[in-house]
């Protein structure tokens, strides 16, 4: 039971006797109002986006873990002092910055990084479930080879368009198209070259 109660009224019945059908409908509504309300604790509301697989931190030895302080979730990230960390951040942003071609998997990851590092940080009151780069939209952009903002109505299904924040669309669609346009579209030639080298 999903909480739905469907009452059917056939158009011919309504046409023949609208007052009887109205009375039946009102009786059904009153019956539904008398039923106890569904407990809302049965549902879980998720307000945070899941961490992408590439951003999870590696486990540290127990001796190092006790020395590192974890900042509060709302606090801005503190600059890293260790010598190995500064080289990691440019790699994360490299997918967004480079003009080289991307594989399909790299394009998925570059769009996720763009979402996590740019869209999520720049948008006030960001709603991940309405983001232009939620997982369903990333899948659509990559699979449809979405490279031109004018293709919005042709390549993005209506149900995805309706659920997308229009401010994000206006602000980020061109940059998303730039990332997707780096997708190596010559899959047959690239695959043969990679296959012969391997």
Q: Is the pTM of this model over 0.85?
A: no
pLDDT at residue 38 in the model? 61
What residue spans of 68-151 are helical by DSSP H? 85-97, 104-114, 120-122, 135-143
pLDDT at residue 169 in the model? 92
Q: Where are the domains of the chain?
A: 7-32, 102-198
Residues near 147 by beta carbon (within 8 Å), at least 6 away in sequence: 177, 180, 181, 183
Q: Tell me the sheet residues that pair with 74.
A: none
pLDDT at residue 175 in the model? 94
**Hey, is 170 helix, strand or coil?**
helix
pLDDT at residue 93 in the model? 45
Which residues of the chain fall below pLDDT 50? 59, 62-68, 73, 75-76, 78-95, 186-198
pLDDT at residue 138 in the model? 92
Given a contact cutoff of 8 angstroms between Cβ atoms, the answer to whether 111 and 142 are in contact is yes
pLDDT at residue 7 in the model? 75
Angle 92-163-115 from CA coordinates, rounded to 5°: 5
**Dist. CA 146–CA 143, nearest whole Å:** 8
pLDDT at residue 98 in the model? 56
pLDDT at residue 13 in the model? 80
């Amino acid at each position: 039971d999903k909480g739905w109660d469907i009452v059917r009224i056939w158009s011919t019945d309504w046409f023949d006797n609208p007052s009887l059908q109205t009375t039946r409908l009102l009786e059904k509504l009153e019956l539904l109002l008398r039923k106890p309300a569904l407990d809302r604790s049965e549902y879980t509301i998720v307000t945070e986006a899941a961490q992408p697989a590439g951003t999870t931190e590696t486990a540290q030895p127990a001796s190092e873990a006790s020395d590192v302080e974890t900042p509060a979730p709302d606090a801005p990230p503190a600059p890293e002092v260790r010598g190995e960390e500064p080289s990691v951040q440019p790699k994360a942003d490299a997918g967004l910055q480079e003009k080289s071609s991307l594989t399909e998997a790299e394009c998925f990851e570059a769009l996720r990084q763009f979402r996590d590092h740019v869209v999520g940080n720049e948008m006030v009151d960001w709603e991940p479930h309405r983001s232009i780069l939620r997982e369903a939209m990333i899948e659509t952009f990559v699979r449809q080879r979405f490279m031109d903002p004018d293709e919005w109505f042709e390549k993005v299904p209506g149900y995805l368009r309706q659920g997308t924040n229009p401010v994000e669309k206006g602000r980020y669609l061109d940059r998303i198209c730039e990332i997707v346009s780096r997708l190596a579209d010559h899959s047959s030639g690239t695959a043969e070259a990679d296959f012969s080298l391997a």
